[in-house]
Amino acid sequence: MATTAAPTRAEVKEAKATIKALHKASKKAHAAAPLAEGKSQAVALILVLLVGGLGIHRFYLGYTGIGIAQLLTLGGCGIWALIDLIRIITGDLKPKGGDYAKKL
């Protein structure tokens, strides 16, 4: 049976530095990313008004799991859709991963 040696302090320090550099690069790339891939607040508003009970606006905004839950519950009997309508109008419900590219 082969045994592995414990990492040295230098190896641990190097690994931590690499992780820190990757984290910094990831944050920098995320900041430079486009705003939610061109999602429009007006389109989200129209979707919630027309088919809010089906949760289609949640799929549009990138929240697939919540969209499925709304689809199965018919938007929480309309209550969830009403709350989402208010949140979209006020700008509180934003696309997953960023902000609207086009606002009201």
Establish if 61 belongs to a structural domain.
yes
Nearest to 46 by CA among 61, 65, 67: 61
Establish if 29 belongs to a structural domain.
no
Residue 8's pLDDT is 87
* Segments forming the whole domain that contains residue 76: 36-90
Establish if 24 belongs to a structural domain.
no
Residue 98's pLDDT is 87
**Residues 72, 65, 86: CA angle, nearest 5 degrees:** 80
Establish if 99 belongs to a structural domain.
no
Establish if 18 belongs to a structural domain.
no
Establish if 69 belongs to a structural domain.
yes
Q: Where are the alpha helices (DSSP H) in the chain?
A: 9-32, 41-51, 56-61, 64-77, 79-90
Tell me the three state secondary structure of residue 98: coil
Nearest to 49 by CA among 29, 78, 71, 76: 78
Residue 78's pLDDT is 86
Establish if 8 belongs to a structural domain.
no
Residue 82's pLDDT is 94
The domain total for the chain is 1
pLDDT (tens, 9 = 90+) of the chain, 104 residues, equals 556 777 788 887 887 888 787 777 777 655 555 545 689 999 999 999 999 889 999 999 999 999 999 999 988 888 999 999 999 999 999 999 888 888 88
